[in-house]
Structure formats: C-alpha cells, structure tokens
Structure 1
Amino acid sequence: MPALVLLGAQWGDEGKGKATDLLGGSVDYVVRYQGGNNAGHTVVVGDQKYALHLLPSGILSPGCTPVIGNGVVVDPSVLLSELSGLNERGVDTSKLLISGNAHIITPYNVTVDKVTERFLGKRKIGTTGRGIGPTYADKINRVGIRVQDLYDESILTQKVEAALDVKNQMLTKLFNRRAIGVEQVVEELLGYADKLAPYVSDTVLVLNQALEQDKVVLFEGGQGTLLDIDHGTYPFVTSSNPTAGGACTGSGVGPTKISRVIGILKAYTTRVGAGPFPTELFDEDGEALRRIGGERGVTTGRDRRCGWFDAVIARYATRVNGLTDFFLTKLDVLTGWEQIPVCVAYEIDGKRVEELPYSQTDFHHAKPVYEMLPGWSEDISRAKSFSDLPKNAQAYVKALEEMSGAPISAIGVGPGRTETIEINSFL
C-alpha cells in the first residue's frame, strides 16, 4: 500500500510545494489533510511560478488527482479564486476532489479571528487573520459548517443561527462590533454550492479504494511540525495537526496504510509569526539569508524570520513524525559563507540540552550551542548528483543527516522543478 506522508520538519515554509511537485508525476493522488489558506506553497515549473494557498501541489501534475481532505478548513471564495486563476493559465483543475466533511470558513470566522487578534495586543499569536483558528474552534465546539451543509438549506440555516447566537453576543458586547445577520451569511454560503458541487466527493472512500487498487497516494501537510497544535511551540502554533498523525485523521486513511514519512528540511531555519526561535539572526547574516532565499511568506506576504539550521528541532521532528527520510531544500542559499554555524544543542540555565525541552519556559530561554562547519563558494545550482557538490557542501549535508536522525534522500539546489538531486527514490 504505497501511501506517503510529506510534511514540514521545522516551522513551515521549508519548500513542501517543490517536494510534492517533484513526486507529483509519479503519484496518483495528492491529499491536503489539514490547515487552510494560511499555508502557501510556491511551485516553479519551467519559467512559470505558481503560488498555491489551499490547493494541493499535485494540481499542477496532469496525471494526478488533487484532494482536499476532511481535515482541511475551506474558504470557498479563496478556493474558487485560486481555481479560476489556474484555469486562466491553462491548468486543468477538473480532477479536484473536496471532502464533504471538510469545514467551511464562514465570514464570521474571519471577523472573529481579526478582532480577537487585535484585542490581544502584545499577547497576539501572529495569526494570518483568515479565520482558520475560529473555524477549527467551531468544529470542536460542534457548531461548524461543513461543505455538505451547503446542500441542505434548512440544516445550514440552523447551524448558522446556532453559531451566531454566541458570536454576536461576543462581537457586540465585548468587541463593540455590529451583529452579523443569519440570512446574509446563509445567502453567501448558498451562492457557493453550485460552483463547488462538481468537486464534492466521499474522499475517504475514494482514497481507501485507491490504495486497495495499489494506487500511490501522497499526503501533503501544511505549515510544519513546530506549528502543530499538540506538538509545536504552543501557543504560537496553528490550529490543526501538520504532523504525520494528522494525515490519518485528516483523510480517513488508517496508519497501517502509511509506508513512508518524508520530512522537508530547509538547509537553514525560518519561521513566520510570533513565538520562540533559538537560532534567529538579527544581523547581516540573517538579512542575507532572507534576501538570497527570497524569504517572504507565500500566503501572508510577511518577511520570514531567519536563522541557522537547528538540529535539535530536526531530531524532534524525526521522533514525533516517525520520519523515514528527509528532503533538504535551499542548500544553494548557503553558497558563499566561509563558515556555517549549525545549532547542535541548547544552553538552558547553564546546562547543555540536546533534546527539545518540553517546558515552554525552558524553550523560551534556550540559547543555541553552535558547531562551525566549513562553507563553499562554488555554484551548486547545476549539480545533478551528490558527487557534483563541492566537498564542503557534501560534508554539510552528511553532518545534518547524522544530527537529524534520518537519511537525506533528496537535496534542493535551486527553486526549479529540475534543480533537485535525488539520492534515494521516495517510491
């Protein structure tokens, strides 16, 4: 049963889109299993650059069926806009499948997200303001709107009424905002029903039948391990489970059917939004990484915080995801440094710590312990095999592999689809 999970092993933005697209031509289904349009992927095909916010990267591979699983939260306007944009560029989007059990991001979810974040002031989490968290909260509180509800106006109206009974009290009395009308929301949501109908499916059945027929299914996570609601740097996390376990609950495919779990690692480290970041740089090196690496959020447009590679985080990602392989991206960005620091441990209250501390307080006070590795100056963007890399670049990759606890099976040496060195096949 060839089912693979591909996920971010840091704080997201590791280059999952490139990795998924690389495999897209060899797999039959690519499944987004969590998150919403708060996670972006950039995919470069030839001279064309695509920014995907909600759609699985497999939508750019002609023979692949892209799937939005039940664990995803869907903003219909964003989804339809993204589909329209791809259609205008000649991309066939007709094979897309959307789970009828996926939850809808409603207009009031977006409103609540924005006003709540502003209300928090200095304590804000750094959300994208796209309604992701409030939608997942509605899901857990059992007042959420699902895609299938768009096709029963009576049920839809009852659910919107139930949700707004509480939210309007909060908006008017706590935030001094206007109440949101039930009819207005219902009318807007019903307006999406016919446009989404061709894509809505029982994706749990489709995916399990595909695996029974020996089809290859790739599960694509949004964000990254350290943003997982359970295993990330809480509370500076997303509202879902990007870790490998989330692939099962977010798609309806059991864990015994997963054969490989691939973690995407950037050759350095970045994160977007607030929260602890031990290796973050505030100097010329940090600015250089940001500039050379083009470190700006695909979805948010925000500059990413940049720092050196953190092996402690990589080991943690290996453990909590059960990683079998790594895909190392953006190795080319490090070209030009004489020496490259790598964080091998933390110092916390004068003690050396080599594993991620479970205590939020300890992690906030963690100081990186660096090991210096020799850099390289040669252009590596045309390298086709591991042996084509400069000796120091090879040594850097091998050191990261040893520190991280899983083999590095592919290396990104540029943004393009073909600028990848495959060491071991993922399939």
Structure 2
Amino acid sequence: MKSIAVIGAQWGDEGKGKIVNYFARDYHWVVRFSGGANAGHTIYVNNKKYVNHLLPSIDPRTESLGFLGAGMVIDLEQLIREIETLEYDFPGIGSRFYIDPEAFAVLPWHKEQDRLLESMRKKPIGTTGKGIGPACTDKVSREGIKLYLLEDEPALKERLENMYTLKKELFGGRLGMNPEEMFGYLLSLRDKLIEIGVNFTSSIDLSKSFREGSVLFEGAQGVMLDLDFGTYPFVTSSSCTVHGVTSVGFSASELDAVFGVIKAYTTRVGSGVFPTEEDSSIADTIRERGVEFGATTGRPRRIGWLDLPAIKYAIARSAFTHLIITKGDVLSGLDEVKVCVAYEIDGKEKAVPSTSHELFKARPVYRTLKGWSSISDRAFAEYIQLIESETGLQVSHISYGPGTDEILKRSELFDR
C-alpha cells in the first residue's frame, strides 16, 4: 500500500506511535498533519524509549523521512529538544525532518494564556498547558505566526508587536516576554533548527515525492477528541480524523487504507464524558498493568471498558478500513471482561450515537465475556470476533507489548 493513515479511534493514547513506528520501516515519508506538543507518541528503538510530542514516528534505523504539515501548531523549542535527543543516538537525523512553512508557531505567550484561561474557568477543560488552544485561537482569529515569517524579519517583528498589543489588553502584564524579546527568541530557534539540518519545505514542493514514493499519515490524539466531532468542549483544538490530511494536500479518498487504533479497553486523560469509566479496583489493576499515565503530562489516565458505540461513531467520522487492537495482554488474567455494545439514551437503546452530545446522556449496555490467560487463548479470539462483528471491520493487527516488534498480524496470531 503506497499511502495509509494511522488514526486514534478513542480519546487518544491508543498506542499510535508504536503502530506508526512498526509500519514506518516500509514507508518513505511519515507525516504528522495536525495537533501539537499535546500529543505524546512513545516508540522503542533498539530497546530504548523515545517520546515524540511533535516529531513523526519514523524508524531512525531506516531511511524514512518525517514531515510536519501545515495543520500543526509547533513549539519550536520542544521540537529542537526532540531532535537533539535522537541526534545523540542517530547523528545527522535532523536533516531527515521537513517542516511546512505554512504551519503555525506555539509561542511562550500561548502557554501562559493556556494556564491563565484554565485557572479562570468555572469548570476546567483539563488542557495539557502546552498552549495549543490559544495558538489555534490566534490562527483562527488571524493573529498567529506562520513559520514562513521567520524568514521575513520586518513582517515578523510587526506581527509580534500587533499580537502583544492585543494580548496586553486582554491579559495585562502577565505574558512574560515583550515583543523584542520574543523576536530574538524566535530567531534563535530558527537558527538552531537550520544548524541541525531541519528543512523548511512546502507540501506543494514535496507533492511529487509523496505521490511517487510512499507516505504514512500519523494522526494525533483520537477521533473522540476531534474539534468538530469529539465530545465538545472536552476536545483538542484541531482535526483528529483522517480528513485532516487535506492540510498536506491529500484527500482521504487517495489513501489505500485507514487504520483505526483502539485499545482492548478505553482510557481518557483530563475532564469530559466517559460512558464506560470504571471507578472500582479493576481500574487500578488495569492502570498499573498497562502503565496508563500520560506520555505528555504524566497524569494517571481514567480507565473504562471497551466502548463499541464510540468506536462505531469514530468509524463513521473517520472512514476507517481496518482496526488495530493494542494492549489485549493487559487484560490477561481477568476472570471476565465487559464490553459496551450499545447505549441507553433517553430511555432508548442505540447502537451508535448520532452526535457527540449523545455520549453525555449515554448509559452503557454491557455484554460480559469470559476472560483469557493470554492472547493465544480461544477467549481472546472470541473477543476479537465480537469487535469485528459489531463494527463490520476486520482487525488487521494485534499489539501485545510496548516494543515495536511486539505485534502480530491477525492471521499470525489465530493460525498459531
């Protein structure tokens, strides 16, 4: 397959980074098309752990290249730290990353705004504090900094002065740097990126390379956190569906496959509705076994049973062609496992919600299955078959550990 996408089908943290890293060895390009440093994709290379918040999850041992698309909001300082971490083990890797100059910058002002706004809310959203929301707000209100301004210093200086004037009116003197300091800060980051070999190249200029080679699109967060279709307002500020690939000049219809990644259970970080959430001791057991703590924030993740109505909603919103299951091994050893197969909404049973708002009113309808001692057991195969029959999609791969190679094709597992 020349072009595929790997998308989170739940509330993020499904293990997409590992799945992308697994596929990346067979692709020339790995492309992040949305989101910012609020995402955390954990990969293992030569048994060493790396957490990418911005970098596409390329396999450093191959010749694959990474592209950060125009739909992203990029914290340049964080990006430099991630590249330098990889440079320690893979010298020269910075030159394998490309950034679209049409992408927007996340500024220290945005991070401070994020903290201020969260502290002012009567009911906090539970943001990561990485400045994503304010950066996207500036993008939409036409106040933001596109990265191509780093090469137009007079225009950059003027834009920063205009931004600061407005922000000072709104937030007083609580934003730290003045415009001159911010100007110097951004130019120093630009120079550092150039020094370590990062390329600023438009997706238009790379279009031929994308289409003549092979490209893997790496989603951020999950469909249930999508700005348009997630459980608003407890969502992120950008596109989490496959349709975000338009920011790189692609259409979802051009892709050969769209893989929706789901855990064998469900997790969520931060506030917001969570129909299958468990608050019993079983949640603590799953959290500890699955090491369910945010890659970006370190916060303990909320734990719940697998939610098939939410997954079917995600399938409808993001045009998945296959599913990939992660962490089935985490549930090994439980006597029984519950699966939400429908919602009760306003007294009526519903197999899939029509809108994200219906999740706020949903009561889960569960089916209880026999547990399994390992993913090789017949009971686990029946669990997978239930997912497939309910969703109408085949599970193509099953991940059973944190390592990149700890993954099996469906046929490899069940034929054994």
TM-score normalized with structure 2 length: 0.94
Match of 1:375 in 2: 371
Alpha-carbon spacing, 1:270–1:179, altered in 2? closer, same or farther (3 Å): closer
Residue correspondences, number:
409
Partners of 2:324 and 2:378 lie apart in 1 by 19
Alpha-carbon spacing, 1:70–1:403, altered in 2? closer, same or farther (3 Å): same
Q: Which amino acid is the alignment partner of residue 89 of structure 1?
A: D
CA contact under 8 A between 2:113 and 2:175: conserved in structure 1? no
Which deviates more from structure 2 when the two are superposed, residues 143-152 or residues 22-31?
A: 143-152
* Partner deviation per Cα, 1:2-24 (whole Å, 9 max, x = no partner): 22111100000000011101101
Structure-to-structure mapping, 1:192-211, within 5 angstroms = 192-197=189-194, 198-211=197-210
* Partner deviation per Cα, 1:338-366 (whole Å, 9 max, x = no partner): 11100001112322121124262x42221
Partners of 2:52 and 2:356 lie apart in 1 by 35
CA contact under 8 A between 2:232 and 2:356: conserved in structure 1? no
Structure-to-structure mapping, 1:11-410, within 5 angstroms = 11-58=11-58, 60-90=60-90, 92-120=93-121, 122-172=122-172, 177=174, 180-197=177-194, 198-213=197-212, 215-249=213-247, 251-358=248-355, 360=357, 362-378=358-374, 380=375, 389-410=376-397
Task: Name structure 1 gaps, 5 residues minimum.
Answer: 381-388
Partners of 1:412 and 1:177 lie apart in 2 by 46
Shift of 1:278: 0.3
* Partner deviation per Cα, 1:348-404 (whole Å, 9 max, x = no partner): 2322121124262x42221111001111113x4xxxxxxxx2111111111112112
Q: Which amino acid is the alignment partner of residue 199 of structure 1?
A: V
Partners of 1:316 and 1:178 lie apart in 2 by 40
Partners of 1:368 and 1:19 lie apart in 2 by 29
Alpha-carbon spacing, 1:196–1:93, altered in 2? closer, same or farther (3 Å): closer
CA contact under 8 A between 2:133 and 2:237: conserved in structure 1? yes
TM-score normalized with structure 1 length: 0.92
Shift of 1:255: 3.6
* Partner deviation per Cα, 1:263-313 (whole Å, 9 max, x = no partner): 001110001111000000101111111010000010111110010000001
Matched, 1:414 2:401: yes
Where do 4+ consecutive residues of structure 1 move more than 6 Å? none
RMSD, aligned α-carbons: 1.7
Q: Which amino acid is the alignment partner of residue 128 of structure 2?
A: T
Task: Name structure 2 gaps, 5 residues minimum.
Answer: none
Match of 1:385 in 2: none
* Partner deviation per Cα, 1:327-347 (whole Å, 9 max, x = no partner): 111110010111110000111
Alpha-carbon spacing, 1:192–1:51, altered in 2? closer, same or farther (3 Å): same
Which deviates more from structure 2 when the two are superposed, residues 134-143 or residues 191-200?
A: 191-200
Partners of 1:371 and 1:349 lie apart in 2 by 20
Alpha-carbon spacing, 1:359–1:335, altered in 2? closer, same or farther (3 Å): closer
* Partner deviation per Cα, 1:45-74 (whole Å, 9 max, x = no partner): 342111111111115342200111111111
Q: Which amino acid is the alignment partner of residue 397 of structure 2?
A: A
CA contact under 8 A between 1:318 and 1:406: conserved in structure 2? no
Match of 1:383 in 2: none
Partners of 1:44 and 1:179 lie apart in 2 by 37
